[in-house]
Amino acid sequence: MKSLKIALSVSALFTLTPLALALEAVDDEVLSEVSGQEGISIDQSYNTTIEEWTWVDGDGDGSTGQAAWRWLNSENGNFVGADMLDNSATTNRRLDTRNMTIDATANGVIITTGDVGYEGDVIINDANQFQELTKLGITTDASGNLTDGSGMKLRGIGDGEEWTYGEVVIGKHDGSGEGNIGSVHIVNRSNYNSTYGTLVANNKFGMGLDVTDSNRFTQRALVISSKTSGTGVHMFNEQGYLLDQGNMNLQTTYYQDDDGAGGNQAGFAEWTTFRRVSDPNNMFDRTNTGNYTRGALQEYDLEVEDGKLVLANQLNLMSIMVNKIYIGDAADAINNGQGVIGGILVDSSRTVGSTSYYAH
């Protein structure tokens, strides 16, 4: 049906001869002022539910027989607000992404992730409303303007993407069958780079990032091209790993022991993964230094040889900041600092090498 509609539309364009004949010719001087840009832009609004993901190992460890690792009742969308409360009434559980792009260039096919979710709310801390911020020297006026002279508003983590895996099922230790080990939750994952996150990085961890580069969505690129020589695929990926996706802000990810009645969560809150760059507008900046940020980088050649899937000539550049590691309740840790046991910083990590995957 879609093909039929496209064919009819094209036919209709060619049958509009009276209109076509009425068009005036455009001379070269006028035409030289006209510019265009090719490529595809994509906006999305979606919610996804998946009853089951299953990975099956046909012979187990070679002696115990077939086994499986199952993830049940998964959902992907936007159903938790930045206040850690259910926001389904306003989002219909759908995640909005805007300004995704696909372009074919001399460097290969470039795909950007666009703006995931929405910008963070303005935070007002003019009278010690947030003691944690005051201790870090982060204060504002009554309108949320920072008092550090930067001219920036203090904004929090954006309302972004959720993934929830309702049951994770694996084999029991005595081999008697499968057992539910709990659930896994990813809350408000986004590429929105907030002043809150930047100032925590600076005032708590001493990172010296440029705060005026905040309060914006950081475009993360995936570039797919051929290798410089020989066959195979070259991958340049600023979009990160499964849990972080090169996020600029991840509000929390946690494991939940579903037997417990409360205080049964353990996880990481206010997790930022990025790489340092000197030029935030240059996706190919591999300096791993500077006071600006882009998504964490994975770069490699993808090859298949000798029965192995090989990631050759790997280059990984990243910094990771986790403001809060907690045991107890995720919302209490984020909103009140309860159950927090510390935080971590990995600054300007650089890894080179190769990785091979094959059957055994």
Domain range list for the chain: 44-120+155-357
Q: Where are the beta strands (DSSP E) in the chain?
A: 40-46, 48-57, 67-77, 95-105, 108-112, 115-116, 161-171, 178-190, 192-193, 216-217, 221-226, 233-237, 249-256, 265-277, 292-294, 297-305, 308-328, 340-357
Mean pLDDT, residues 243-263: 79
Please give the pLDDT value at position 251.
95
pLDDT cut 70: percent of the chain above it:
87
pLDDT cut 90: percent of the chain above it:
73
Burial class (CB in 10 A: 0-12, 13-18, 19+), 18: exposed
Please give the pLDDT value at position 298.
93
Please give the pLDDT value at position 31.
40
Q: Which residues contact 104 (CB under 8 A, 6 or more apart)?
A: 39, 110
Mean pLDDT, residues 280-285: 93
pLDDT tens, residue by residue, 52-75: 999 888 777 667 777 889 999 999
pLDDT tens, residue by residue, 79-111: 999 999 999 999 999 999 999 999 999 989 999
- Among 66-70, 139-143, 352-356, the least confident range: 66-70
